[in-house]
A and B are shown apart, each in its own frame.
Chain A
């Protein structure tokens, strides 16, 4: 992996994209995981359990020192030797010291991300010990001198043929590529390692304070052998793994395996307390049992209001399983030790801001990770926070900084757009920008880019403003920058639909961009200024609802404004504003109660793309389908809720990934035979329409408002 700079990172990304085996494997995995996860969660209340875990974890984080003390008291009575290491180096030194004191020559390990975090293998090998991983995946990558590419399936990037070659080298015997035979090779080779080892290192999924017990979840059973055969057992455990009670651990076990591998439970859960029976050559036939609790910055993260949620993580790896970017490029490009969304975050905290700088950019912000997180962590929000901190530490890249300043100033923004409208003339062709030199749109050839509209919506509005409807539902229209200046047609269509359905529409002129683009770029100050401007713009508009045609604007204004404006002494105004925010489709179905009779249904075959922030940010699922079924012949396509690859500025920063996501999306919809593709977001529209234009496909892309406006009965 190349995390030194963006150029080498792009080169690694391209290599990963070109790796056919990886692409095929992760594609299959992504589709199967979602289906299997849904099945395995069918018999539990997922949301309720996750909320309980989040609450309990937060409570534990508030009392880590007390939990540690309580654990130590029980452990001391039971003959467990407990250590606390402030840093990764301290932890490594401690483990090496334990090894030396016990004259340890050989070490076996069961899987532990915390041990990976501190690079214990390297420290022990330097100290003279021989270390062998015993989790099959970990052993494979150890033999290949590679890092894990997934937290639960570390060797998912490798084919059976590569494993066969690796085992051939290890055993000096030609090995067949049959997977069951390869597993037998590991069984045979590793059994002797178990038999010979002096020390076993494990992690711990939980450290239960009320009785000084650790619990380890494994499927292979290597954890049980690691903690049984060697005379010394060292468990390395983050202090965040402390839980007050057994009940807390049992609760997490109801979600962790379901989220990790779509299993109701791992094959083995081992509950270990005290110096248990050990028939190796040890005094009193009792295991020498050490636990090293690792801090490594965790105590500081607990105090970090915006990031402390990250310590709720139970290491299930689901944030990678559902990440559309992970699916394309794999774990070696999506983390350093920890992989996936949590990997982007923990790399920042544990493995250096330099490495995190590159990684933190590679989040498309689709919120798929947040949607499945076993502990309800708002991972995308923490990634955005980290971007902001990295910008403050290293200085903002030029483009985001300028963009932030422009978007925050409505007048400057509008003036510049008007200027750009004339400046684009030489390269404009109808609704699209064409013939731009590559230096301006590097890598953007996969889609046609829109030209700035001749007339912005705000300039069209006075002419199309419907008459006031005193008895109608009072609704404010939030335009958002993309629709105001690129796609005013979406808004005029919405005005037609809303007006026809009897709504009383207002358009406050002082509104600005919602601020999400600058927030995504880590431009904290400008994100706050735009948010404030919008709250004030709608404060006295006299509306009961604020409708947006963009899922991202809606989700950002509804979910993020309260936090962004927390220090501005305007909580009541912000709450009033956020409570009124609703997306276009939901407004029609849930507030205006639109009936199918409002539309003439000509049976046009129409597919739908769920904007990420609509389906996950606002949990809107049914409403768009209700509308499409009313006005057309809705065709369901596979993976409707997977990101189209836009992600705001993400598509400019990582065009190679954006283009691939887009291609998958369009292929899926075209395969249904749909002639129209509808969505509820101008960003997605830009991506889908631009992509379809570029590849000369037959799909006509429309915003929901346009599709409905065409089918309204006059």
Chain B
């Protein structure tokens, strides 16, 4: 059983609320995936932002993307999604620039004092999936939460020493206050961010 820094987990949860991250806790990754499927089921079907590439009014299925999952997890999620009649997307995200409904990601690390999910996304599909969805569901193991960014430093240094790397700190849904300083969510990226903490 990996060590969990309980204080850091509490801090993460406390810091998440003001930046409009909805935090919940489950035991396993499978439960987190079920959570993502439920979120997708409950949401209304998103409209394509790219009229012309496909007819925006044509009936289409809800889409759920998870390009970074390993075979076993993908298989579990894809089964669940297919049963609910979702279009399950694992790659070729460029074909979905009009938008997808939900993306499910697994964070590599969490930084408590800023409620940050650290997600390695060198693969374009992973990067795109976390941006073009309307709802982003991120699973984060409690054991991977550190108190501050300085504690994530050695992880990041290893990542950035690679020949190619694109690591994202994500601390909430896409936001803007550029019109009259009124906070508005979802200007380019997700409108909502759900953070699912994993006990295991």
Residues of A within 8 A of B172 (CB): 267
A330–B50 alpha-carbon span in the complex (Å): 37
In the complex, residue of chain B having the shortest beta-carbon distance to the beta carbon of A267: B172
Q: Are A271 and B178 closer than 8 Å at their CB atoms?
A: no
Residues of B within 8 A of A265 (CB): 114, 116, 169, 171
Q: Are A43 and B113 closer than 8 Å at their CB atoms?
A: yes
The stretch from A156-164, A234-242, A385-393, A399-407 touching chain B is A156-164
Interface members, chain B 155-200 (any A CB < 8 Å): 156-157, 159-182, 184, 186-189
- A261 at the binding interface (Cβ < 8 Å): yes
Interface members, chain A 171-186 (any B CB < 8 Å): 179-180, 182-184, 186
Interface members, chain B 1-45 (any A CB < 8 Å): 15, 19
Q: Are A191 and B178 closer than 8 Å at their CB atoms?
A: no
Q: Are A183 and B163 closer than 8 Å at their CB atoms?
A: no
Interface members, chain A 226-277 (any B CB < 8 Å): 227-229, 246-247, 250, 253-254, 261, 263-277
B15, B131, B150, B179: which contacts A183 (Cβ < 8 A)? B179
B123-160 CB contact bits vs A (8 Å, 1 = yes)?
Answer: 11101101100000000000000000110010011011
A77–B97 alpha-carbon span in the complex (Å): 32
B166, B175, B180: which contacts A219 (Cβ < 8 A)? B175
Q: Are A183 and B97 closer than 8 Å at their CB atoms?
A: no
Name the distance in Å between B128's Cβ and chain A's nearest Cβ. Answer: 6
- A136 at the binding interface (Cβ < 8 Å): yes
Q: Are A267 and B174 closer than 8 Å at their CB atoms?
A: yes
A204–B117 alpha-carbon span in the complex (Å): 21
B95-123 CB contact bits vs A (8 Å, 1 = yes)?
Answer: 00111000000000000011110000011
- B49 at the binding interface (Cβ < 8 Å): yes
Q: Are B153 and A247 closer than 8 Å at their CB atoms?
A: yes
- B94 at the binding interface (Cβ < 8 Å): yes
Q: Is the interface of A mostly helix, strand, loop or mixed?
A: mixed
Residues of A within 8 A of B92 (CB): 279
Q: Are B122 and A277 closer than 8 Å at their CB atoms?
A: yes
Q: Which residues of B are at the interface with A, using a C-beta cutoff of 8 A?
A: 15, 19, 49-50, 52-53, 92, 94, 97-99, 113-116, 122-125, 127-128, 130-131, 149-150, 153, 156-157, 159-182, 184, 186-189
Q: Are A279 and B153 closer than 8 Å at their CB atoms?
A: no
Q: Are A267 and B171 closer than 8 Å at their CB atoms?
A: yes
Name the distance in Å between A37's Cβ and chain B's nearest Cβ. Answer: 14
- A190 at the binding interface (Cβ < 8 Å): yes
Residues of B within 8 A of A191 (CB): 49-50, 97-99, 188
B98, B128, B160, B180: which contacts A211 (Cβ < 8 A)? B160
Q: Are A180 and B184 closer than 8 Å at their CB atoms?
A: yes
Residues of A within 8 A of B99 (CB): 191
B122, B131, B156, B178: which contacts A140 (Cβ < 8 A)? B178
Q: Are B122 and A276 closer than 8 Å at their CB atoms?
A: yes
A629–B123 alpha-carbon span in the complex (Å): 64
Q: Are B174 and A221 closer than 8 Å at their CB atoms?
A: yes
Given A179-B180, A187-B49, A263-B19, 15 additional A-B pairs, CB 8 A? A29-B181, A135-B178, A183-B184, A187-B188, A190-B188, A211-B160, A253-B149, A267-B173, A268-B168, A271-B156, A271-B165, A271-B167, A271-B168, A274-B163, A280-B94
- A593 at the binding interface (Cβ < 8 Å): no
